[in-house]
Every structure is written in C-alpha cells, then in structure tokens.
C-alpha cells in the first residue's frame, strides 16, 4: 500500500513539473531558418518569379481552346453556326518578348538573392539572441550575488550605526546600493524573459520551458585588429538582389520602348463543325461540307501607339529610379561596413580593458582577504570594506560580460558581412569534440 502511494506521488510530481527543453545553438539556428516568416515569404517570391518567367516563355507555345453550343436563329446568320470549334494561337516572333524574358530571369535571380538575404538575417538574429540569453543569465547570476552582498552590507552598516561607528548617511548609501542592485536584478530578469520570448518566436517554440546550452556555442574566431584589420567584403545578397531587380526594370523598359515599327508575328489555326440543323445550306453554299478549318501566320507592324509610348516612358523612369536606389544601397552598405570595421577594434580594446580591470579588482579582493586573515598590526580591514570590495569586483566582472557581448555582436555581424556566418555556426564547439 505504501509503495503504491509513493509511486503515485512520483508520477504526479513528474507530470506536474515539465522538464525544460534544452536547445543547442545549431538546433536553434536550424529551427529559426525553418520557421522564419521572411524566409517563407522569400520562397514564395521565388516560386512567383519562376512562374512569371514561364509565362514570358510559354507565350510561344500554342494555346488550344475548344468551345461549342446549341441554339436557333431566324433568317440569315451573320456568322456560320457551328456545333463546336477548336482554336489555337501563339506568338511566333516579337522584338519585345526577348527583353521581357530577360527581365523575368533577372527577377528570378533577384528573388533568389532576397531569399539568401532573408536566411542571413535569420541566422544573425538567432545567433545574437542566443548569445544575449547566455550573457543575460550570467549577468543575472552576478547581479544576484551583488544584491546578496549589498544586503549583507546593509546589515553590517546597521550594526555599525547602532555601535556609533558609522552615521545614518553611510546607512542610506548602503541601502541605496542595495536598491540599485535590486532594480538591476529586476532589469536582468526582464531582459532574460524578453530575449527568451524572442528566441521562442524565432524558432516557434514555447518560451516558458526553453533553456539554452552555453557549451554548444562555437568559439568566435580570434581577432587581431592591430595588424591591418581589413577583411575581404563582397556584395551582400541584398545588394545583389537590388542589382538584379534594377536590371530587370532596364530590360522591361527596353521592351516597352521598342513596340512601334517592330514586326509582331503570331500563329493561329481554327477548326469548326458547321451546325447541320439550322438550314445553313439555304443561306451558304457549303456543297455538303460541314467542316471548316483555317491556319496561318499573321504579321503586324505597329505604327503609332501613344499608350505604349507612355508606358515605355513610365518603365524607363522606373528603371532610372531603381539605379539610383541601388547606388544608395551600395553607399549605405559601404558606410555600415566602414563603421563596423572601426567599431570592432574599439570593442576589442574595451573588452581587453574590462578584463584587466576585473583582474585588478579580483587581486584587490584577494589582498583584502589575506589582510583579514593575517593582520600584522596594521589597519584592520572591516567587514564593511570587504563587502564593498566584493561588490566592486562583481561589478567589474559584469562590465567584462557586457564588453564581451558587444564585441561578440560585432563579430557575428562581421562574419555575416564576410559570408562566413553559416560556416561558423556549423563549427563543432571544442567542448563537444572528443578528447584525443
């Protein structure tokens, strides 16, 4: 009986507390690529562009239409009544169409580059969010430790005030530090919740039981910004997409501008079965032949068409505008890359400085602890001073985490700009590799 109750309690507790879902860095990126709405839209744009290209080419394939009907007429009919007809027609030659086909091909390439850009954006977004969650959790642990130290500091200062060793001002300062750290702790909690929710939306998973695995994050490539830090850049997918879109508009504008004074050749054929029940032979001499067929090629020379001319002017202006937008996009990308190249060395120096300051603070803390254990008759280190030094050391460690996060974000952006982001994401972390 007791064993059954114990078993029921274990089962109930295991079902009541669902285990948090751990997701590795690479898995998060893969899920982000699978569930990203921009990527899905870009895929549909590729299908749409491919279909549009097929339309421009399939116009040369004859289309076949069959139709029929029944009815009656009075007197002579204006057209020969038929039971059914089969019509087929297609375009044979058009000077315009070759430009429209080129434009459709460029639109398809533009959609493909836009798809690649959407993938790059999704990878960068997931990678930075995953990194930020790991940082926020580490920062949360540090801030919590700081807050606990500040709470102990308030208690120590209260005892010193009661013993007339400190003033009320010192107590208010200690309480101010505790409140500031409590507020910082609340901010860290909000940051973790916000980032986790964002990651859950990116990968289409519930954020409540989502847990990152820091060990699955691959190490970022080492930086050496002091010696000619000039990575190689190529045109981004966004620029290549805009370039192909501008090319498509140029080709379409050429096609619209050469409509007049260019031959237009089309093919047509028709077969019809003349109706035998409407006294057709009384009005038409068909010699008993109820079959009607025709086939031929039609040649047209457009001489004047103001509507087409206006459409050509419109598409030409659109093509010129797209070239201007492309130049602006290239300029913005170039400026962004230059800004990133200037920022990376600065962020690397800031991270190095923060690391040195954290080591100095840790050394000062070690010195204080040694002095407390081995007092040699000099000034006695009080518990109040110990708490202040501990809080200061934790703050320096928090500054180091922030500096490393900013540098990591810049490095991830740099990897994307140089086309190496996907290769880095697929790198197996050193902690996951088997020992030699």
CATH classification at residue 281 = 1.20.1600.10
Phi-psi region of 380 (alpha: psi -120 to 50; beta: other; left: phi over 0): beta
> Measured between alpha carbons, how far is residue 105 from residues 48, 92, 403 in Å?
12, 20, 46
The string of pLDDT tens digits covering residues 63-96 is: 999 988 776 666 666 677 788 899 999 999 999 9
| Segment among 8-12, 39-43, 63-67, 234-238 with least mean pLDDT | 8-12
In a domain, 19, yes or no: no
Query: Is residue 7 classed exposed, middle or buried when 0-12, 13-18 and 19+ CB atoms within 10 A define those classes?
Result: exposed
**CA dihedral (8, 10, 13, 15) positive or negative:** negative
Quick one: how many helices (H) and strands (E) in the chain? Answer: 9, 6
The string of pLDDT tens digits covering residues 247-293 is: 999 999 999 999 888 899 999 999 988 877 666 666 677 777 778 88
**Residues in Cβ contact with 61 at an 8 Å cutoff, skipping those fewer than 6 apart:** 90
Of residues 144 and 285, more confidently modeled? 144
In a domain, 378, yes or no: yes
Per DSSP, 432 falls in state: G
pLDDT level of residue 7 (50, 70, 90 thresholds): very low
In a domain, 176, yes or no: yes
For residue 150, give the nearest of 364, 395, 382, 402 by alpha carbon.
395
Geometric angle at alpha carbon 200, from 198 and 203, rounded to 5°:
110
Strands 21-23 and 210-212: parallel
For residue 254, give the nearest of 99, 366, 358, 114 by alpha carbon.
99
In a domain, 6, yes or no: no
**Residues in Cβ contact with 275 at an 8 Å cutoff, skipping those fewer than 6 apart:** 81, 82, 83, 290
> For residue 436, what pLDDT is reported?
35
The string of pLDDT tens digits covering residues 107-141 is: 999 999 999 999 999 999 999 999 999 999 999 99
Q: Which domain range does residue 259 map to?
A: 36-71+78-429
Domain count, the chain: 1
In a domain, 281, yes or no: yes
Read off the pLDDT of each residue in 149-158 and give the average, rounded to a whole number: 90
H/E segment holding residue 63? strand 63-68
H/E segment holding residue 89? strand 82-94
Phi, psi of 328 (to 5 degrees): -65, -40
pLDDT level of residue 3 (50, 70, 90 thresholds): very low
For residue 198, give the nearest of 262, 245, 130, 134 by alpha carbon.
130
Beta strands in 247-403 (DSSP E): 264-274, 291-300
Alpha-carbon radius of gyration of the chain:
38
> Measured between alpha carbons, how far is residue 72 from residues 287, 288, 329 in Å?
22, 20, 66
Read off the pLDDT of each residue in 328-340 and give the average, rounded to a whole number: 93
> Measured between alpha carbons, how far is residue 417 from residues 158, 321, 436 in Å?
55, 26, 34
pTM for the structure as a whole: 0.83
Beta strands in 136-237 (DSSP E): 210-212
The overall average pLDDT reported for the chain is: 86
In a domain, 12, yes or no: no
How large is the angle between the packed helices 383-417 and 95-162, nearest 10 degrees?
180
> For residue 14, what pLDDT is reported?
39
For residue 160, give the nearest of 325, 358, 382 by alpha carbon.
382
In a domain, 31, yes or no: no
In a domain, 240, yes or no: yes
Structure token pair of residue 292: 């009607």
């Amino acid at each position: 009986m007791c064993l059954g109750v114990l078993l029921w309690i274990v089962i109930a507790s295991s079902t009541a507390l669902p285990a948090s879902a751990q997701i590795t860095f690479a898995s998060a990126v893969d899920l982000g690529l699978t569930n990203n709405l921009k990527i899905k839209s870009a895929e549909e744009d590729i299908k749409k562009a491919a279909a549009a290209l097929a339309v421009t080419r399939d116009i040369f394939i004859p289309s076949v239409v069959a139709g029929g009907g029944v009815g009656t007429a009075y007197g002579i009919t204006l057209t020969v009544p038929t039971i059914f007809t089969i019509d087929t027609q297609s375009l044979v030659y058009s000077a315009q169409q070759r430009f429209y086909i080129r434009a459709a091909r460029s639109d398809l390439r533009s959609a493909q580059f836009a798809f690649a850009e959407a993938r790059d954006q999704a990878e960068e977004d997931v990678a930075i969010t995953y990194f930020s969650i790991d940082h926020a959790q580490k920062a949360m642990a540090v801030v919590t430790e700081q807050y606990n130290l500040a709470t102990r500091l308030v208690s120590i200062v209260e005892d010193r005030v009661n013993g007339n060793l400190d003033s009320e001002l010192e107590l208010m300062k200690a309480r101010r530090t505790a409140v500031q750290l409590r507020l910082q702790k609340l901010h860290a909690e909000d940051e973790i919740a916000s980032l986790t929710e964002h990651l859950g939306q990116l990968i289409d998973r519930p954020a409540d039981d989502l847990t990152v695995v820091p060990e699955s994050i691959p190490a970022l490539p080492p930086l050496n910004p002091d010696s000619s830090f000039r990575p190689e850049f190529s045109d981004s997918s966004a620029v290549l997409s805009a370039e192909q879109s501008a090319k498509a508009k140029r080709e379409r504008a050429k096609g619209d501008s050469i409509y007049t004074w260019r031959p237009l050749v089309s093919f047509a054929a028709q077969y019809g079965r003349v109706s035998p029940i409407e006294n057709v032979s009384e009005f038409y001499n068909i010699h008993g032949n109820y079959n009607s067929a025709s086939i031929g090629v039609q040649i047209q020379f457009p001489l004047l068409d103001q509507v087409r001319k206006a459409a050509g002017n419109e598409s030409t202006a659109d093509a010129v505008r797209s070239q201007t937008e492309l130049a602006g996009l290239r300029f913005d990308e170039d400026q962004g890359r230059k800004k990133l190249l200037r920022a990376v060395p600065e962020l690397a120096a800031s991270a190095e400085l923060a690391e040195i300051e954290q080591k100095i603070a840790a050394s000062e803390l070690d010195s204080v602890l040694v002095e407390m254990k081995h007092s040699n008759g000099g000034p006695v280190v009080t518990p109040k001073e110990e708490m202040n030094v501990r809080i200061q050391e934790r703050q320096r460690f928090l500054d180091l985490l922030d500096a490393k996060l900013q540098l990591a974000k810049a490095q991830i952006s740099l990897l994307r700009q140089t086309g190496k982001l996907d290769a880095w994401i697929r790198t197996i972390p050193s902690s996951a590799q088997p020992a030699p």
